[in-house]
Structure 1
């Protein structure tokens, strides 16, 4: 796995309690949509595995883009506080890319992407790449959040849907009682009935689930209840949120 030193070029809030961090893209760096990197903060040895010094992040940017972006919920961890405190221009180390949370090469097979909260990040790279390359694969994204304020990249996803006729966004907000924004879309949880609706007429779709541990486990159970073979389901769990 390759190691690179890069500089922080920007950071911005992308949803309530959620930040995106922009870094230089190293010369020769190449990744597949859906892959990840380890980010190591300055002043820490490469060999340490402590969660206070390094963290794994899915890459938000598509391979064609000229920067690397990661995004995270800002919790109470030592790492998150240190990351947020980095001045623009700080040099950090990244290791990667790595991971196999990538779409199948067979573009005739529909991929159903299921994301909860910050679990959207690996799908952003996939969906940006699909829109830029106008790939032939049909993509359906079920994206669940409590309310719109919480939903990272929601406006961009709506724009990507307009750009790519083979991409369908199905976003749902499950706690609108506590929202300060309006929402005229779905408000239901992602349950087996909804899954069955989504897959009706699809020929052997592949499923990808990404989010916090409880959501991933619940979605795997829901897919099983919906009659989906577990061999057709891949998942990526986000810890520490």
Structure 2
């Protein structure tokens, strides 16, 4: 799995999904050429071009009209999904072409018209085909998901997406509830019903690709499980309300409504108020939000920064909020480490001037302080992975919450240590212990530990470590290594929390 994770961490979630959809379209064209799929490559190419063109044009109109930050990746992902769930048509099929145009236009329009606080509520592709069925009596066939030739491609790519965003719990909840409901409501032969669902339905494509869209996903694990269960139950074809039966897209849209009800509302515009150097290569960006919003220390946001000539990692990133919700100035802080060569996003972020704006949404994350204040906490941070701990420690000081906290903070050199002033103040205010571990410092630095954080150091500084709750934040490789280290020390996996968010790269 290390090889797979190394590959996945080099690509953003959105770019991975886009490549996956393009591979599916390419595979479908290949099989169509040899007659394995009913649609000809020419019809598939024509339909795909129409969908992509209409999605792009519609989005461009709404971006200009609403003054929104454009996100081309999102447009192409929606278009790719539509091309895979609406049957390809020939140019002479005027009704079919009209369906493509109608569904594509409304899919993109829904992101702006049916949005509250600048955040869309519904999965765009699902909305487009559901509205088409309602108004023009044209329905999606989900042809990509019901063909055995494409099933391996759907599965492998879909599982890579789920691995990338670490949402196996959501997919598992959906799968278990859907298959159990199908088996129970099947009547005489549940085995056949389940087999038919797995091999000849939209089950995998819906569950692995569309259900896992981050912007229509709840912010915490428990709410995600409920979301998966709701959509899974409604997905079962024999579930109905009177004479009304649900389609896969309607099941997903109802789930989207649930997510809206239980999730933070809206998208926020942040204006740059200050930029401060924290350490070598590390800067803090201080933003003023357009309106107040609440969050828990340790949660993250999706940050969208429009810029020209974006590279293959796009114009969106997930970053932990470095500020505490209890800070008096109400500012939102972002800590960022800049490596060479910089991505186009990091270049644009670094080039921001005072009063420039960035858009944020999708507040989420379970990497938060436990409600039980008696639990002993151990924080392990690597590099800029220290940002959630800055938020949590500042919050503890602001609320005079004197918990038992030990922070292990690893950097190569002393000049790379960020937020040292915060952690040093916490020693005086809270009695918090901080161990600064330096792995590549040529001379001894007072008040630091020379070497890597290992089991011996943890056991020395925290003798009762088996009673502690561990929080690990940093590069993916570091997080995985410490999980193994702690497991080898006898720490239960239920006492280990890791900081993870979609689109890690």
TM normalised by structure 1 equals: 0.89
Q: 1:203 to 1:193 in 2, by over 3 A?
A: closer
Distance in 1 between the 2:276 and 2:429 partners? 24
Q: 1:32 to 1:212 in 2, by over 3 A?
A: same
- Judging by fraction of residues, say which structure has more strand: 1
Question: Residue in 1 aligned with 2:497?
Answer: 234
Contact 1:212 1:237 in 2 (8 A): no
Contact 2:459 2:465 in 1 (8 A): no
Q: Offset of 1:225 from its aligned partner?
A: 1.4
Contact 1:114 1:141 in 2 (8 A): yes
Q: 1:123 to 1:92 in 2, by over 3 A?
A: same
Question: Residue in 2 aligned with 1:169?
Answer: 434
1:84 to 338, 350, 369: 350
- Judging by fraction of residues, say which structure has more helix: 2
Q: 1:93 to 1:154 in 2, by over 3 A?
A: same
Question: Residue in 2 aligned with 1:205?
Answer: 468
Q: Structure 2: any 5+ residue segments left out of the alignment? A: 1-263
1:29 correspondence with 2:304: no
Question: Residue in 2 aligned with 1:144?
Answer: 410
Distance in 1 between the 2:473 and 2:414 partners? 19
1:68 correspondence with 2:332: yes
Superposed CA RMSD in Å reads 2.0
2:478 to 215, 220, 223: 215
Q: Offset of 1:170 from its aligned partner?
A: 1.4
Q: 1:30 to 1:172 in 2, by over 3 A?
A: same
Question: Residue in 2 aligned with 1:17?
Answer: 281
Distance in 1 between the 2:317 and 2:446 partners? 34
TM normalised by structure 2 equals: 0.44
Helix, strand or coil: the match of 2:353? coil
Which of the two has higher C-alpha Rg?
2
Distance in 2 between the 1:53 and 1:121 partners? 21
Q: What are the Cα deviations for residues 87-120 of structure 1, in whole angstroms up to 9, with x where unaligned?
A: 2111221114211100110111101100011110
Distance in 1 between the 2:385 and 2:332 partners? 17
Helix, strand or coil: the match of 1:19? strand
Contact 2:268 2:289 in 1 (8 A): no
Helix, strand or coil: the match of 1:176? coil
Question: Residue in 1 aligned with 2:399?
Answer: 133
Which structure carries more relative contact order (alpha carbon 8 Å, separation 6+)?
1
Distance in 2 between the 1:74 and 1:91 partners? 20
Q: More displaced, 231-240 or 130-139?
A: 231-240
Q: Structure 1: any 5+ residue segments left out of the alignment? A: 45-49
